[in-house]
Amino acid sequence: MKNLMKLNVEPLEAILLILFILYLIFNVETPRVLAPYINDPIGMVMMIVGVLYLLYYCHPILGILGIFVAYELMRRSCPHKIKHVRFNENTESKKKQHMKKMNPPKETTLEESVVAKMAPVRKQGAYMMTSFKPVNEDVHNAMNVN
């Protein structure tokens, strides 16, 4: 304890330093009641704010230990106990299968079937030449586009 006082560390900072070292050394499990709050985005932001506070206003060793403690706290609070990040390449095909299950099969309505029967309204062939010429009466100062 005398060596910690030589580093110009306040007593409260010395206690926090000892607690941080004990937390890192021993495998203390995060209580299940607190884990959802730590894994929440607001909890992570609060943890980052706490670490930044330690870095700016406390002893630098305490701030650096705070970074490691925050990382360990997030890692120990994770419910899945992930050892490494794994990317699944089949996600798009799984999504397509799921969407096909959710969408009902397409049924043709009465209106669609009647329109399908009447669909080719236009003759397939040459257009007839007529003597009728359309005339624009009021074009509101628009230009001719040829």
Question: pLDDT tens, 11-63?
Answer: 888 899 999 999 999 988 888 888 888 888 898 999 999 999 999 999 899 99
**Contact residues for 44 (Cβ-Cβ < 8 A; gap 6+):** 38, 74
Quote the number of domains for the chain.
Answer: 1
Q: What is the pLDDT of residue 1?
A: 55
Q: What is the pLDDT of residue 146?
A: 63
End-to-end Cα distance, the chain: 94
**CB-based contact 78:38 (threshold 8 Å):** no
Give the pLDDT of residue 96.
86
Which amino acid makes up residue 118? M
Residue 23 lies in a domain: yes
pLDDT > 70? residue 69: yes
* Two tokens, residue 139: 């074009």
**H helix or E strand, kind and range, residue 114:** helix 110-118
The Cα 131–Cα 113 span in angstroms is 38
Domain-located, residue 127: no
| Any domain includes 110 | no
Residue 45 lies in a domain: yes
Query: Whole-prediction pTM value?
Result: 0.53
Provide the 8-state DSSP code for 9. Answer: -
Largest CA distance in the chain: 112
Q: Which of 4-18, 25-39, 90-104, 115-129 bottoms out in mean pLDDT, i.e. has the lowest? A: 115-129
Q: Which residues contact 43 (CB under 8 A, 6 or more apart)?
A: 37
Q: What is the pLDDT of residue 124?
A: 61
Residue 60, H or E segment: helix 60-77
Please name which of 71, 25, 15 lies closest in space to residue 47, comparing C-alpha atoms: 71
What is the predicted pLDDT for the residue at 25? Answer: 94
Domain that holds residue 69: 2-77
Report yes or no on 65 lying in a domain: yes
In a domain, 33, yes or no: yes
Q: Is 122 inside a domain boundary?
A: no
